[in-house]
Structure 1
Amino acid sequence: MVRLLAIGAGLLFTLVVMVSFVVDAYNAATTETPKTAEKVFHLDAKAPEGGWSFSGPLGKWDIAQLQRGYKVYKEVCSACHGMKFIAFRNLAELGYTENQVRAEAATWQVPGVDPATGESIMRPAEPTDYIPSPYPNDVAAAAANNNAIPPDLSLITKARKNGTNYVYSLLSGYQEIPAELTEQFPEFSTPFGLYYNPYFKYLNIAMAPPLMSDGQVTYDDGTEATVPQMSEDVTAFLTWGAEPTMIKRKQTGWPVMIFLVFATILAWMAKQQIWSAVKPSKRKD
């Protein structure tokens, strides 16, 4: 009797779960999701008009672009964001000589210790040092940025969906709230301290436009420093910073693929040679 009651209770529980699942699935399929400004006016990230030189299986780094991007990062982005996984010695991969890397590192200040007194000091960086954060800790970072902590940019293009295109679109996408948005959603607004950017999920972002006007940075190679150009260059640099071996990996992949195809052909030919003298047996019923 107890066993029958247990079986009945189990069947009843299973039935209730199945009915609940069917009802919830029906409601989810038939209930119309209310439209919000975030869903209607949010834009998907996009690449610049000419694409990226490093995209695709045959992509390559544009060294001049990476150097321009580093300049934008140093003069603009480093005021709020660090790159704690990138050492100054890594800049040699951008075409700088050893002396240039050493000189460039010395233009940065990093925490150190006075060998005479043992007190904490700021000293010129060396090639073995890593690009520092402008803030000593998260509390100081939040206090200086309206309670929003600027993220480290070392892996930012890997940490965001469609990261490279997202960073580029975000940097170049600041704008005024469209009149169409306020017409459809009169209740929508950008609070004080936030900025409208359709490429940000919630449309209002705490980061002020870092690239505010053309010519904000002067490029050494004479390239015109428009906002889209600076956004593209610094995004390429951040992509390199997140995955500096990407191009080497692609270049290594081609010989590996060719070898695997060749080895497969050899294996098939060897199999044919070994089993060529073996005749299939005729089955008798």
Structure 2
Amino acid sequence: MIRIFGILTGLLFTVAVLWSFIVDTGAAISEPAPETAEEKYHLYPKGPEGGFAHEGLFAKWDTAQLQRGYQVYKEVCSACHSLRLVAFRNLGEIGYDEGQVKAEAASWQVPGVDPNTGEATMVEGSPTDYFPKPYANDIAARAANNNAIPPDLSLITKARHDGTNYVYDLLTGYREQPAELVEEFPEAKTAEGQYYNPFFHSLNISMAPPLTGTGQVTYGEGNPEPTIEQMAEDVTAFLAWTAEPTLVKRRQTGWAFLLFLVFATVLAYFSKKQVWARAKGGDVGEASVKED
């Protein structure tokens, strides 16, 4: 009796689930949800024309670009965004020598202790220090950024879908909000203190355009002109490196491993032909008959 009751209960539950699925599916087909502003006007990132040097089959780090990207981060992005997982000594991996790393570290102020009073203070950075936070706490960050906390950029290209292209297009994607968008979706109008950017998930972002014009950062001699697009590409490449500094090495190791597998496969094939050649041709059987 208990078994029959359990079977009937299971059948009733299954029928209820199937009925709910059929009803909800039918309602979704007959009465689809209205299109939202995000669905209609959101743009998917494509990245710079030609892509990045660290992408593709033959990836490599462009150290000159990484150094330009670090300069953009230092002079523009660091005012709001932290880089807490990167130490100054890591700059040696993008072409800076020991003296340059020490000089760069010393150009930053990091939390420390006054050796005379023992009180907390700001001191010159050293190569072993990590990049400092721009705000003392989240409350200060919200107060300075329209109640939004700027994200840490250490892993930003890994934390966003299609990260490198997303960061590049976000930096270059600020524009005037289309009038037809406001007419069709009045609730999506950009609020005061926000900015329209179709690459941002909600179309309106609290971060003001960080790159505002050509020459905002002065590159050294022999470098390309610092246009908004060039600066965005450079800092995006730098952030791709901070997120995954072993990316290029890992891909190069992968190529070496694939070549080894090809070589091992060819070697195994010829070894198999050599070992089994006599048995396959019947030579082994003929030899045994002669011995008898």
> What is the Cα deviation at residue 188 of structure 1?
3.1
Q: 1:19 to 1:255 in 2, by over 3 A?
A: same
Does residue 129 in structure 1 map to residue 129 in structure 2? yes
Aligned residue runs from structure 1 range 88-107, under 5 A: 88-107=88-107
> What is the Cα deviation at residue 39 of structure 1?
1.0
Structure 2 residue matching 1:58: 3-state secondary structure: coil
Q: 1:37 to 1:280 in 2, by over 3 A?
A: same
- State the partner residue of 1:232: 233
- State the partner residue of 2:108: 108
After alignment, is 1-10 or 112-121 more displaced?
A: 1-10
- State the partner residue of 1:58: 58
> What is the Cα deviation at residue 185 of structure 1?
2.8
- State the partner residue of 1:12: 12
Structure 2 residue matching 1:121: 3-state secondary structure: strand
> What is the Cα deviation at residue 223 of structure 1?
2.5
- State the partner residue of 1:160: 160
Identity of aligned residues (%): 62
Q: 1:64 to 1:26 in 2, by over 3 A?
A: same
CA–CA separation in structure 1 for the residues paired with 2:132 and 2:117:
23
Q: 1:105 to 1:26 in 2, by over 3 A?
A: same
- State the partner residue of 2:149: 149
Q: Which runs of 5+ in 2 are unaligned?
A: 283-292
- State the partner residue of 2:259: 258
Per-residue Cα deviation, 1:7-62 (whole angstroms, up to 9, x for no partner): 22322222222222222222233332211211111100111123211110102112
What is the one-letter code of the residue matched to 1:215?
Answer: G
CA–CA separation in structure 2 for the residues paired with 1:240 and 1:31:
47
- State the partner residue of 1:169: 169
Q: 1:280 to 1:24 in 2, by over 3 A?
A: farther
What is the one-letter code of the residue matched to 2:257?
Answer: V
- State the partner residue of 2:191: 191
CA–CA separation in structure 1 for the residues paired with 2:19 and 2:98:
70
Structure 2 residue matching 1:112: 3-state secondary structure: strand
Per-residue Cα deviation, 1:92-136 (whole angstroms, up to 9, x for no partner): 122111111111110000001123322111110011111111112
Per-residue Cα deviation, 1:165-214 (whole angstroms, up to 9, x for no partner): 00000001111111232343344311111110010011001111111122
Structure 1 residue matching 2:84: 3-state secondary structure: strand
- State the partner residue of 1:248: 249
CA–CA separation in structure 1 for the residues paired with 2:103 and 2:15:
74
Q: TM-score, normalised by structure 2?
A: 0.90
After alignment, is 22-31 or 59-68 more displaced?
A: 22-31
What is the one-letter code of the residue matched to 1:196?
Answer: Y
CA–CA separation in structure 2 for the residues paired with 1:123 and 1:104:
14
CA–CA separation in structure 2 for the residues paired with 1:218 and 1:184:
42
Structure 2 residue matching 1:54: 3-state secondary structure: coil
**Greater fraction of residues in helix:** 2
Q: TM-score, normalised by structure 1?
A: 0.92
What is the one-letter code of the residue matched to 2:247?
Answer: M
CA–CA separation in structure 2 for the residues paired with 1:84 and 1:48:
27
Aligned residue runs from structure 1 range 21-36, under 5 A: 21-36=21-36
Q: Which runs of 5+ in 1 are unaligned?
A: none
- Say what the alpha-carbon RMSD is for the aligned residues: 1.8
